[in-house]
Amino acid sequence: MNARLNGAAVPTRRQRLCRRLLLRSLAGIEGGRLVLCDGDGRHAVGQGAEIELDVRDGAFYPAALWEQSSGVGRAYACGWWTCSDPVELVRLLARNEPVIRRWTAPTLGLLAPWHRLRLWRRRNTEVHARRNILAHYDLGNDFFAAFLDPGMTYSCAVFQESGDDLQDAQTNKLDRICRKLDLGPRDHVLEIGTGWGSFALHAAGNYGCRVTTTTISAEQAVLARERIRQAGLADRVTVLEEDYRRLAGSYDKLVSIEMIEAVGVPYFPAYFRACSRLLRPEGAMLLQAIVVDDRHFRHDARHEDFIKRWIFPGGVLPSTQEIARRVAENTDLQLAHLEDLTSHYAETLKHWHANLRSAWSGLKAAGRDETFLRMWEFYFHYCRGGFLERRVGVVQYVLVKPRCSGLELLQPRANAWPGVRPRQELCNG
């Protein structure tokens, strides 16, 4: 425990050394001024708009220096620091990543064997994949319901109109997917990654198609089946608990919404081979993926960061070039349409964070730990900053089999099934 001077943490000698090294690694940053405040005073680097970081415990310094983003996130969860604007802090650090990486390369080199060992132990074999998914998605349906929209859609929304709330925006996204694939009553759709059933409910309920959807999260499967039963769609929607590698059958269309991030680089070929194998020769696939900037893909795939360490064990973001390469090498699928939705994810995360803050006291009363909630708060800040800075993005692919024809990718459909609401051109969102 640090001594305190006028309420501020006074770092120990070791912590002061770590602070000095941390400030040295940040000395070349541009586009903003970072001010670290502790019991020794104010310590600033950079020029421009000021971002103030209040260090409440000197343990922050070695955590940030040695563990980098995972240590910064852990320190935030522990209450060791606060910030006037955590999102802008993330943006500033992302903007200066090349500068920072030059200084931190020796540290990363020293820790690389430990990172590689942890990543290897969390690789997404069939056994480990279930364990990794359990660590994230089986945290309790009540927790996710606290910050998601009423439809329980845990992926990027699409804000088409200025007055769209989160529920409207998620409905926009689901409708966009259905229309891009030209879904109708004659289609049998496979969904890899059920979530809590929002896409299956929307597609079957509004477009009349049959949906087979699979998840390896037990908690998700239970709630998805219940929601489908309550909607009266059990005759049109089947929920499986199968790994994508074990799926069988032949489907007209395939949908995978932000599931590829949990596949892992060594398993990208198996994932895309499975998608291609499961589609009929006339079939089409909609893939929504969070992607990393191509220039950072190889570095990120080899190193552990905050999200891999504390939020999504086993996860790794592909890049657009990596997806293109894996599709070309492992499938006969062809790219028919590609759409960038990155700005919409920043807005989605803003809504999720606001909902989490609104539910904070109720979640604590229900037994959620403050440290746990602060970890998730930092997760939202970290991701939003990454999307705003375009360090990461989100895209929708339409991939088609060679014999696929007739998809009217950018046209709103007439009412092909009760409940379908025609919307404006897709490209306007």
pLDDT band at 290 (very low <50, low <70, confident <90, very high): very high
Q: What is the mean pLDDT of residues 23-29?
A: 91
What is d(CA 146, CA 351) in angstroms, rounded to the nearest whole number?
12
Write down the pLDDT at residue 110. Answer: 57
Give 137-149 pLDDT, tens digit per residue. Answer: 567 899 999 999 9
- The predicted model gives 258-269 an average pLDDT of 94
What does the alpha-carbon distance between residue 256 and residue 130 come to, in Å, rounded to a whole number? 17
Residue predicted with more confidence, 208 or 106: 208
Task: Give the model's pLDDT for residue 140.
Answer: 86
Which residue has better confidence, 218 or 417?
218
The catalytic position among 18, 156, 275, 383 is 383
Residue 383 is a catalytic residue: yes
pLDDT of residue 411: 44
Confidence category of residue 419, pLDDT binned at 50, 70, 90: very low
**What pLDDT, in 10s, does the model give residues 95-136?**
998 888 775 555 555 556 655 665 555 566 655 555 555 555
Could you read off the pLDDT of 323-381 as tens digits, one per residue?
A: 999 999 999 999 999 999 999 999 999 999 999 999 999 999 999 999 999 999 999 99
pLDDT band at residue 421 using 50, 70 and 90 as cut-offs:
very low
- What is the mean predicted confidence (pLDDT) over 76-88? 96
What tokens does 301 get?
């795939």
SS (H, E, C) the chain: CCEEECCEEECCHHHHHHHHHHHHHCCCCCCEEEEEEECCEEEEEEECCEEEEEECCCCHHHHHHHHCHHHHHHHHHCCCEEECCHHHHHHHHHHCHHHHHHHHHHHHHHHHHHHHHHHHHCCCCHHHHHHHHHHHHCCCHHHHHHHCCCCCCCCCCCCCCCCCCHHHHHHHHHHHHHHHCCCCCCCEEEEECCCCCHHHHHHHHHHCCEEEEECCCHHHHHHHHHHHHHCCCCCCEEEECCCHHHCCCCEEEEEEECCHHHCCHHHHHHHHHHHHHHEEEEEEEEEEEEEECHHHHHHHHHCCCHHHHHHCCCCCCCCHHHHHHHHHHHCCCEEEEEEECHHHHHHHHHHHHHHHHHHHHHHHHCCCCHHHHHHHHHHHHHHHHHHHCCCEEEEEEEEECCCCCCCCCCCCCCCCCCCCCCCCCHHHC
Q: What percentage of the chain reaches a pLDDT higher than 70?
A: 84
**Global pTM?**
0.88
Residue-level pLDDT at 136? 59
pLDDT for the residue 3: 55
Query: What whole-number percentage of the chain has pLDDT above 90?
Result: 74
Please give the CATH superfamily to which domain 126-428 belongs: Vaccinia Virus protein VP39 (3.40.50.150)
Mean pLDDT value across the chain: 88
Question: Which pLDDT score, from 0 to 100, does residue 137 have?
Answer: 58
Mean pLDDT of 19-39: 93
pLDDT for 409: 54
The pLDDT of 167-194, averaged and rounded, is 97
Per-residue pLDDT, 98:
85
- For residues 44 and 34, the answer to whether their CB atoms sit within 8 Å is yes
Residue 46: per-residue pLDDT = 94
- pLDDT value, residue 407: 75
pLDDT of residue 428: 34
User: Can you tell me the mean pLDDT for 230-234?
Assistant: 98
Domain boundaries, given as residue ranges, for the chain: 3-118, 126-428
Query: pLDDT grade, residue 305 (50/70/90)?
Result: confident
Residue scoring higher pLDDT (117 or 424) = 117
Task: Check residue 100 and give its pLDDT.
Answer: 81
Name the least confident of 48-57, 117-126, 209-218: 117-126
User: What is the structure's pLDDT at 399?
Assistant: 97
